[in-house]
Structure 1
């Protein structure tokens, strides 16, 4: 299993651990020994970030642990649903739950739906039509949605991937909701603890602090999931994948949808993942428009 360990701002290292981990303290002890760290300099929980860029051997190791997570699902579900623990407590108790493979596995255990495959396939199917819907309201667009489309129109590389990201970023705006506290962007020189302040649930995109890209497209350095103002997963490959994984964690941790984004998440659930059929009038109108 591959970890990205932030020893200090200028000392970020990757460590491949083959041992079975039973707790966060066990992980810290291994890292302390492997990296020859003093006790006082052992990384904090927020610095021990699961990386989605796992090697083949670590992926195989994680697969071997699937049976353990499967066997403890009933007990884990009872704890999470019944006690509603803080995310930090869940990370201490069930660290493996915060890896990409296990988020998808847990979502399947709860819903019997394959998370990323279903979500990304639906996004591929609907992204072009979503962009058309956003443009069809050109006379009624708010400034933020118009800016989003203008940036998309200027894109000349990776257009298909950027279209999917634009479709997701524009969805709350099209549904007349605000995503200010849910989607955030910061520079790689900004303090992370400041960037995540106020983020109870969301996606943080870290971009390169480069003056040359201020008026163009900044380079994305990292995409992370934030829950209860702390990073729970980092180094995610793309914004759509991050969105899917965050949705999966909502189910895995039995979290409520953000109240200011209730229609956005209802659309993800019922339109993109086909979980449930009874839609609100707003989401039903979106669904009808996508099927035209």
Structure 2
């Protein structure tokens, strides 16, 4: 379960929905940094070293990461590359990317809505039948406590940034199964509260700031 601060509980009880611009403005008010542009700039800045780290990962995990990166071999779209890097980062940290990005088909609306209602926190992507990752989805947004709180967003990386903004602004705890992924995105990518890192995330940070990727 997500542990909400008082503001977060009040937010959902009143059944208000966060507007994208309001979320970004609130995040910048709290942190003094622009959410989306900072997230993209830092993620892109680390992408080269992250890709080298992914390439050097062997075994079953390495193959899984290789499979997650396949879409980057079919297109030069920066949003596809960013999405693949986020999912691969999740796998690299031995967490499940499908627990972060939940993908559904638009042909089964009832099952999709039921699944979303059971989702505590994550990004949902509803794709047209037969569509690839490079194709625009039917819908894309953020789910918190079984509710679509943001919808019709432009890309998975943008939605990941918005999700981080909600987590930070509403003082929500990370889901345990994704705690390292969110720690990296918040403390390394956004450089927020990064003085104290878990051992696993500290190891990753050390590799990012060195020329050793094994």
**TM-score range for the pair, normalised by the shorter chain length:** 0.7 to 0.9
2:97 aligned counterpart, secondary structure: coil
Alignment: residue pair count: 204
Q: Which has the larger radius of gyration?
A: 1
Alignment of 1:39-188 (within 5 A): 81-82=5-6, 84-85=8-9, 88-92=12-16, 95=17, 98-141=18-61, 143-153=63-73, 155-158=74-77, 160-188=78-106
Alignment of 1:199-214 (within 5 A): 199-210=119-130, 213=131
Structure 1, unpaired ranges of 5+:
1-79
Q: Which has the higher contact order (CA 8 A, sep 6+)?
A: 2
TM-score computed with the length of structure 1 as normaliser: 0.64
2:69 aligned counterpart, secondary structure: helix
2:108 aligned counterpart, secondary structure: coil
Q: CA deviation at 1:113?
A: 2.3
Structure 2, unpaired ranges of 5+:
none
Separation of aligned partners in 2, 1:186 and 1:195: 9
RMSD after superposition? 2.2
Q: State the match for 1:282 in structure 2.
A: 200
Would you say the 8 A contact 1:87–1:228 is kept in 2?
Answer: no
Q: State the match for 1:47 in structure 2.
A: none
Q: State the match for 1:244 in structure 2.
A: 161
Would you say the 8 A contact 2:99–2:178 is kept in 1?
Answer: no
Q: State the match for 1:49 in structure 2.
A: none
Of the three residues 145, 150, 157, the one matched with 1:233 is 150
1:261 aligned counterpart, secondary structure: helix
Residue 254 (structure 1) aligned with residue 171 (structure 2)? yes
Q: CA deviation at 1:198?
A: 2.4
Describe the shift of the 1:83–1:247 C-alpha distance in structure 2 as closer, same or farther (beyond 3 A): closer
Separation of aligned partners in 2, 1:171 and 1:180: 12
Describe the shift of the 1:136–1:189 C-alpha distance in structure 2 as closer, same or farther (beyond 3 A): same
Separation of aligned partners in 1, 2:81 and 2:55: 13
Structure 1's consecutive aligned runs of 4 or more residues displaced over 4 angstroms after TM superposition are 216-219
Separation of aligned partners in 2, 1:104 and 1:90: 20
